[in-house]
Structure 1
């Protein structure tokens, strides 16, 4: 009994660490999961290209999905491979969780609403200790595609809209794990996050992104130079998640010029697009 699924990465409009409201959009960088169910035995995980990486999240995604939606207990093997760098602020954990939950459902032959499948992955992420907020904003954008606005405390979807943007991503070689973020510092900017949330709910995603970028670069002590280089030409630019990556959206020609500046720094840049179709089984 085998299952396979894929899920896209995501970029940040509003980081939910400040006030519990978050917003994110799906990016065309993908994580794929393969799940094989076995008679008895343990649930074991493997991350392609990262033999020493922690597999607790993907193993818990499989286990929780089996507990909730299988008629009997199963052992399992799960393997993920990804275009999304780990701990770069591009929602690699959410993409891996979504892909793994859907691959497990695929192996079980069970259909489940996308939002409910997303909530399973968020619950597994909390139990695995890889997220502070539960990251329902990131997970919902990855699962559904487009841009979402969420209440992460209640795992409630406040808004979902299809968007077709060109996207520039710069991922420095450094890594920043969400669970290690300075939450107290982020919560000091809650009044600013309230304004950003209002902008996002009005559909003013570009303005929301840019304000978020400056606010969270300040709170998390990341440089603002990449943001300033992007303005005023782009529609929006932000630190993605808790860093260290930056994302910008706008006219493709403007983003191509910005790429020439961003790629003078160490790391990797991608000029890509948003995803409208979200996570997929099979």
Structure 2
């Protein structure tokens, strides 16, 4: 009973920590999960490629929830591999959860589950193991469905989704930042600004929403604003992604190539990519 699936990373339009509404967009960089189920196995054992000491509770819990609901509680193994750096603000956990859920469904031979419903399984797993404060339905829905999504993370309601064709520049510093460790109380102090960002996002003004979100959350999380100032006014939008440390910018490719020259002077990794509209898929 083998299954394999992939799901993309994502960048932030609106971080849901402040007001419960979030928005994100899928980026063309995958996490892949391989699941092998065995009715005789005692529990689920997870492995993350190239990270032997990484926390595997999320992907293990995803398998457990899927087999409990759609199978007979089978155990087995799950292995993820990815070029998306962990704890970088690029939704690596959501991508891993989505890929694992789809791979487990694939292993069970279940192919008629609504993608939104499948996404919520991963969100539940993330809450169960405590890797998220908000539940991250915004990040998870963007990764699972593709395009840009706007969500109510308190009710796990999809408020809007749109397919977008953007060029994306990403700068990921070498340090890590875990979402569960973010100062949620400090972020809630910028709720009035976040509510304005939500209005912009629901009006389809994603670039402006990103930029306002970026400055607000840089202030709340003591992140540098210099990468954003370097991007403006040429790009369509730029923001701290999640709780950082990554920054993402969207716009015309030639403008992003010029910005890349500036961002590349800093430690870390800078890469130019595009958005994704197909989301998670079995392989």
Please confirm whether the aligned pair reaches a TM-score higher than 0.5, indicating the same fold. Answer: yes
Q: How does 1:16-165 map to 2 (within 5 A)?
A: 16-40=16-40, 41-70=42-71, 72-111=72-111, 112-165=113-166
Encode CA deviations 1:224-259: one digit per residue, 9 max, x unaligned. 000000000000000000000000000000000000
TM superposition shift of 1:128: 0.9
After superposing on structure 2, the runs of 4+ consecutive aligned residues of structure 1 that deviate more than 3 Å are: none
- 1:76 is displaced (CA, Å) by 1.1
Q: Equivalents in 2 of 1:263, 1:33: separation in Å?
A: 31
Task: Report the secondary structure of 1:125's partner residue.
Answer: helix
Deviation of 1:205 (Å) = 0.1
Shift of 1:39: 2.5
**Separation (CA, whole Å) in 2 of partners of 1:39 and 1:153:** 35
The whole-number CA distance in structure 2 between the counterparts of 1:250 and 1:73 is 46
Paired residues in the alignment total 281
| Runs of 5+ unmatched residues, structure 1 | none
Q: Which residue of 1 aligns with 2:13?
A: 13
Output the CA distance in 1 between the equivalents of 2:65 and 2:48. Answer: 19
1:230-245 aligned at under 5 Å gives the runs: 230-245=231-246
Alpha-carbon separation, structure 2, partners of 1:158 and 1:76: 36
Using the TM superposition, give the Cα deviation of residue 268 of structure 1 relative to its aligned residue in structure 2, in angstroms.
0.3
1:126-153, Cα deviation, whole Å (9 max, x unpaired): 0010000000000000000000000000
TM-score if structure 2 supplies the norm length? 0.99
1:68, distance to aligned residue in structure 2 (A): 1.0
Tell me how far 1:214 sits from its aligned partner.
0.1
2:210 aligned partner: 209
Task: Name the CA distance, whole Å, in 2 between partners of 1:236 and 1:3.
Answer: 37
Deviations 1:3-56 (A, max 9, x none): 000000000000000000000000001100000001322200000000000000
1:90-118 C-alpha deviation (Å, 9 max, x unpaired):
00000000000000000001121100000
CA distance in 2, matches of 1:190, 1:235: 23
- Residues 35-92 of structure 1: CA deviation (Å, up to 9, x unaligned): 000132220000000000000000000000111111x221110000001000000000
Structure-1 separation of matches of 2:253 and 2:263: 15
Q: Distance in 2 between matches of 1:101 and 1:174?
A: 28
Output the CA distance in 2 between the equivalents of 1:165 and 1:204: 13
Cα separation, 1, equivalents of 2:73 and 2:254: 53
